[in-house]
Amino acid sequence: MWKWLHSYADPQKAYNLSGRLLPWFATLAIGFIGVGSIWGLLFAPVDYQQGDSYRIIFIHVPAASMSMSAYMAMATSAFIGLVWQIKSADWAAAAIAPIGAVVTFIALITGAAWGKPMWGTWWVWDARLTSELVLLFLYLGVISLYASFEDKVLAARAAGILAIVGVINIPIIKYSVEWWNSLHQPATIKITEKSSMAPEMLYPLLINIFGFGLMIGAITLIRFRAEILARNGMRPWVRELAQAEGVK
Partner 1 sequence: MNKGISFTQAFFTLLKRDLKIAIRHKGDIFNPLLFFILVVTLFPLGIGPEPQVLTRVAPGIIWVAALLASMLSLERLFKADFADGSLEQMLLSPQPLSLMVLAKVLAHWLLTGVPLILVAPLLAVLLHLEANSYGALMATLALGTPVLSLLGAIGVALTVGLRKGGVLLSLLILPLYIPVLIFATSAIDAAGLNLPYSGHLAIIGAMLVGSLILAPFAIGASLRVSTN
Interface positions with partner 1 (CB under 8 A): 82, 130, 134, 137-138, 140-141, 144-145, 148-149, 151, 154, 157-158, 161-162, 164-166, 169, 172
HSE-CB for 210 with a 13 A CA cutoff:
13
> For residues 147 and 226, which CB has a smaller minimum distance to partner 1 in the complex?
147
DSSP 46: P
CB of 21 to partner 1, least distance (A): 31
CB of 92 to partner 1, least distance (A): 18
CB of 100 to partner 1, least distance (A): 14
Q: Is the separation of the CB atoms in 58 and 36 below 8 Å?
A: yes
Dihedral, CA of residue 238, residue 228, residue 221 and residue 3, to nearest 10: 100
CB of 126 to partner 1, least distance (A): 11
Angle at 136 between CA 133 and CA 138, to 5 degrees: 115
> For residues 135 and 221, which CB has a smaller minimum distance to partner 1 in the complex?
135
CB of 112 to partner 1, least distance (A): 19
Q: How far apart are CA 228 and CA 174, in angstroms?
A: 33
> For residues 26 and 133, which CB has a smaller minimum distance to partner 1 in the complex?
133
Q: Is the separation of the CB atoms in 79 and 73 below 8 Å?
A: no
Q: How far apart are CA 125 and CA 128, in angstroms?
A: 9
> For residues 46 and 165, which CB has a smaller minimum distance to partner 1 in the complex?
165
CB of 184 to partner 1, least distance (A): 16
> For residues 150 and 193, which CB has a smaller minimum distance to partner 1 in the complex?
150
Q: How far apart are CA 162 and CA 165, in angstroms?
A: 5
**232 three-state secondary structure:** coil
Q: How far apart are CA 174 and CA 65, in angstroms?
A: 9
> For residues 118 and 162, which CB has a smaller minimum distance to partner 1 in the complex?
162
CB of 77 to partner 1, least distance (A): 16
> For residues 1 and 168, which CB has a smaller minimum distance to partner 1 in the complex?
168
Q: Residue 103: which of 138, 145, 60 has the closest Cα?
A: 60
Q: How far apart are CA 211 and CA 100, in angstroms?
A: 15
Angle at 191 between CA 188 and CA 194, to 5 degrees: 60
